[in-house]
Amino acid sequence: MPVSHWLIVAGTLTFATVAVFPTLVLLWMKWSAGDYTQSYSHGLLILPLFVWLVFRQRHTIANTEQRPFKPAFVLLAGLLFGWTWAFAANIAVGAEALWPLILICSVLAVSGWAATMTIAVPVLLLYSAIPVWDVINPILQSLTTNAVGVTLQVASVPAFIQGNFVQIPAGIFEIAGGCSGIHFFIVALTLAVVYANLHFHMTAGAVLLLAIAGAMSIMMNWIRVATIIVAGHLTDMQSYLVTVDHYTFGWVLFSIMLIPFYFVARRLERGSTNEPSPSALSRSHSHGRVAPAGVALLLLSLPALVWGRLSTNEATGIEIELPNVGEWQLNDTTPTDWRPGFPNPDGEFQATYAGNGLRLDVYANWYNTQSQGRELFGYDTSFAGDEARIFHDKPIGGIDATDHGKPLEIHEIMADYQRGERRLIWYHYLIGGESRSRGIEAQLWLGLLAMVGAEQSGAIAVSTICEVRDCKEARAFLGSEFKMFNRALTDVLITSTEE
């Protein structure tokens, strides 16, 4: 019996979402987390909105001709491989960004271009709730700082601006990342897309509406930040907007902004149409074939073979003994500000070695498996530690660090610490028993290994204090001792994990 084309499209979207289910779980956690800078909390509304926008197109889809686009199966296979790789490597934003593309490509492969164009806007709307927008946050932040500077000058408020800090006689304001207005910007674009999808399909009009919505939200945020600073100036930093809550004030201004926005939208709507093109309908083909959906379902089931296994991985916990290194002696009584940070490794240690009046600090960790919140690479990981002021983090090559005669490329960090220490830190990763120094390269290599069940990894770092500010002597010292320490640390890591 023929199956409604609408049911085939709906089933394809459902199975494509199930195929990357861990991504949906992670996004849901971000949407509902109060500490995620609030920039994507509207995602809790975007998902049901996406479902509704697709559902309201059911009659149009049912009357489109099903013409599977076979080349899209190859593209779908590539996207699914890319998603599996990103998931295995714990590159969350990469996996999240591929979800809408997998949805679109699945429908294109199974149903063809007509149905794909019908559901394209609701699917692409999902990007408004995916953290791909963070890349433009520094731009919006800089624009806000500059605009506020001009506004304060016009308002005759004395201000000194350095970087993203605004100093007025009453105090100092930081225009931080959350003050960039990115949340208002994303929500404004979302409302424009929804309005255009509901009321007109004129491409030029939709693009113009998007541009207007984005510009209005940016200028509204400039007004918000400038008003808060002026309020701080006039009240000696005692205003409610300064001491209690300024975020709600932004949404009040945003609501006021919607009045002229919808007035402009109605004007644009008059010259457009919300009727689909007659060429997009074919009432003689109201039923579809399920065979292409079966092929897509087979492809969509493959990522589960990897994420089903990785999702059940748990921390095991291993004891790593401090190694003996030549004539060097352990000196655990020496304090240090150097505290590398890695979340929840299976095992780690940090120690200080002393000898001949010299000192060298070491750190090593090991992960048998990884998952979100328990990973070697991520925003919460740092070889320098949270309290460091980093001057550079760069690769240096040709380091004699193994017995194999092959020089290693490692990374060097120069950083200052609270007690006035300046340090050099040399580090590299162990991925599948091989040394890698570049973070993204190491993470991608780890992802490939994790896909086949070989995801063990770790990190090694050695550090010393720079007695001279240019650190030349410290660099020479690390160069002379790194091979011995690296060999000892590598051996103890591998031995500890094999027991």
Specify the pairing of strand 408-416 against strand 160-162: unpaired
Cα–Cα distance between 192 and 164 in angstroms, integer?
30
Cα–Cα distance between 109 and 95 in angstroms, integer?
20
Cα–Cα distance between 130 and 135 in angstroms, integer?
12
Record the pTM: 0.85
Considering only CA atoms, which of 85, 93, 86 is closest in space to residue 26? 93
Q: Output the pLDDT for position 288.
A: 63
Cα–Cα distance between 104 and 72 in angstroms, integer?
10
Phi, psi of 198 (to 5 degrees): -85, -30
Task: Render 98-114 in DSSP notation, one character per residue.
Answer: HHHHHHHHHHHHHH-HH
CB of 246 closer than 8 Å to CB of 228? yes
CB of 22 closer than 8 Å to CB of 304? no
Give the CA radius of gyration of the chain: 28
* Torsion angle of the four alpha carbons 22, 26, 31, 33, in this order, in degrees rounded to the nearest 10: 140
- 349: enclosing H helix or E strand: strand 347-355
CB of 470 closer than 8 Å to CB of 455? no
Q: Output the pLDDT for position 11.
A: 92
Considering only CA atoms, which of 376, 495, 378 is closest in space to residue 446? 376
Structural domain boundaries of the chain? 3-138+174-310, 329-498
What sign for the dihedral angle of Cα 174, 176, 178, 181? Answer: positive
Q: Mean pLDDT, 10 residues at a time, over the chain (499 residues)?
A: 80 94 91 67 91 93 90 95 92 94 96 94 94 91 92 90 88 86 93 88 82 95 93 89 85 93 87 50 54 85 84 69 82 77 89 86 88 82 89 84 70 88 92 83 88 84 89 90 87 74
